[in-house]
Amino acid sequence: MIVRSRWPKRRVRTVTLLSLLCIGALVFSACADNNETGSAGDAEGVEAGASQEEFARALADMDAVTLSLQTPTPAEHPVTDAYTKYAEAVEEWSDGKITFELAHSSSIAPPTEIDDALADGRLDISYTPPTYDPKRYPANDALLRLTSLGKQDPVAGMLQSNAAFMETAFNTPEIMGEYEDNGMKPLLPYVPTDRVGFACTEPRTNLSETDGAQTRISAEVHAEQIQPLGMSPVSLDFSEVYQALQRGVADCALFPLWGAEFVGILPIANQYTIDSEVGVSVGMVGLAVSELAWDDLPLAGQQLLHDRLDVFVEHSIKSSIWKTAAAGLKQIDKEGGSVHEFDSDAREELRAANEKIVEGVRDSDAIADGESFVNGVNQALERWDDAVTGELGFDEQVGYPEFAEWHDSADVDLGPYIDLLKSEFMTQHRPE
């Protein structure tokens, strides 16, 4: 079994008696099909929709491989479920030929070093946040700047926006190319995520309350969104946010509910403002595999990593987003906090800021045609809104104040939603 280590890979080939005999043109030609099994040179794959048995047969002669897989959270955290379930599905469908060694809580590489770790082989698969480096990932940043668009509710709106942004990321060559230019193969260029709200130590819903508030941000665009509210942006690492809020160095922190719950700030920042009409940009995260690891897999192995993304997406929504959002809302209630919306004055300032940002993307040179890019995102949001609230029948009336109760009583089948994602755009990007 090949176990990939944290250190840079070296492509090592075992010298066998057979390879020593393959000398001379004629003999080498006869031995050309005896390259090491499991390499990317084995071009035979399986059709889309192949069964578990078909994948097992296609990978039967592959050398077993263990891939490192890094998660952002501890093993027991709901966000980790997507990674664990994905790994289990790939292992099962490969009949044990592809297994994983999970590294939790970014233990191999911190967020700012993940891309380099994937490129040099210390990591095989990991989440990766292009949010942190907009100059290195300008096309990803262009999409990030549009993620305030779409409906803001936690059920239908969340499904609508994630589908539209995933589709856009997959179908934008500049976004996919930025991963590949940095030594990665994007498995999922946009990982589903929740909307972002303001976790504050006291209510901040109107311009008089937001004015002067020191607010932790996680992306450059956030500064452009909160400054019209009179807020001052503060850049802090996850590990520093709790103490900053506790000591009054920061008054608010921009986080999705899962992030606020994970960092542990809700006991002291339990006044959470998340608007039903206008939002802030969400922190974009992708799921990528090292090109070194990718190229070592046979085609059927590459296809399996892609095909089981359905498991990753489903559990990203059910566990990483919905389960943690419900837990965060319950904790806010337990700590005596409240969920708020903006008053009209703050809402309109944020809306105007977002419109200015969108116009900036239209004029950006990060995408070949910024105008078409923005229009395409709006069209995707409209189509997915029709699909989610129409044929799929998800309720758009569920807001954040009642979401925890909805979550505890709902038995949601995401199968039709996942199937639609696959048929509309994911299968088109399957390795062939």
Give tens-digit pLDDT for 338-376.
999 999 999 999 999 999 999 999 999 999 999 999 999
Q: What is the pLDDT of residue 332?
A: 97
Q: Whose structure tokens read 């940043």?
A: 141
Distances (CA, A) of 42 to 32, 36, 37, 39, 187: 12, 9, 8, 6, 20
Q: Angle 98-47-69 (CA atoms, 0-180°, nearest 5)?
A: 25
The pLDDT value recorded for residue 20 is: 30
Tens of pLDDT, residue by residue over 43-98, are: 589 999 999 999 999 999 999 999 999 999 999 999 999 999 999 999 999 999 99
Place of tokens 């209630």: 333
Which domains does the chain show, CATH number per domain?
196-282+323-428 (3.40.190.170)
Token couple for 16: 């066998």
Percent of the chain with pLDDT over 70: 90
Distances (CA, A) of 225 to 9, 169, 217, 364: 42, 22, 10, 18
Residue 27 has pLDDT above 60, yes or no: no
Give per-residue pLDDT as tens, 104-119: 999 999 999 999 999 9
Give CA separation, 162 vs 154, 158, 406, in Å: 11, 6, 20
Q: Angle 183-189-194 (CA atoms, 0-180°, nearest 5)?
A: 140
pLDDT at 40 over 60: no
What gap in Å lies between CA 198 and CA 260, rounded to an integer? 10
pLDDT at 43: 58
pLDDT at 234 over 60: yes
pLDDT for the residue numbered 229: 98
Which H or E run contains 288?
A: strand 286-290
CA-angle at 83, arms to 77 and 319, nearest 5°: 50
Work out the average pLDDT over 145-153: 97
Please name the amino acid found at residue 352: A
| Model pLDDT for residues 13-22, shown as the tens digit of each residue | 333 323 332 3
0.75 cut: is pTM over it? yes
CA proximity to 257, closest of 417, 403, 129, 130? 403
Least confident of 144-148, 281-285, 313-317: 281-285
| Closest listed residue to residue 251, CA positions, set 217, 225, 301, 295 | 217
With b for 16 or more beta-carbon neighbours within 10 A and e for fewer, the 77-106 pattern comes to: bbbbbbbbbbbebbbebbbebbbbbbbbeb
- Structure confidence by residue, pLDDT tens digits, 376-411: 999 999 999 999 999 999 988 999 999 999 999 999
Note the pLDDT of residue 239. 86
The whole-number pLDDT of residue 25 equals 33
Q: Name the β-bridge partners of 66.
A: 3, 99
Distances (CA, A) of 348 to 204, 229, 353, 400: 15, 10, 9, 20
Q: Please state, rounded to an integer, the average pLDDT across all residues of the chain.
A: 91
Q: How far apart are CA 297 and CA 299, in angstroms?
A: 6
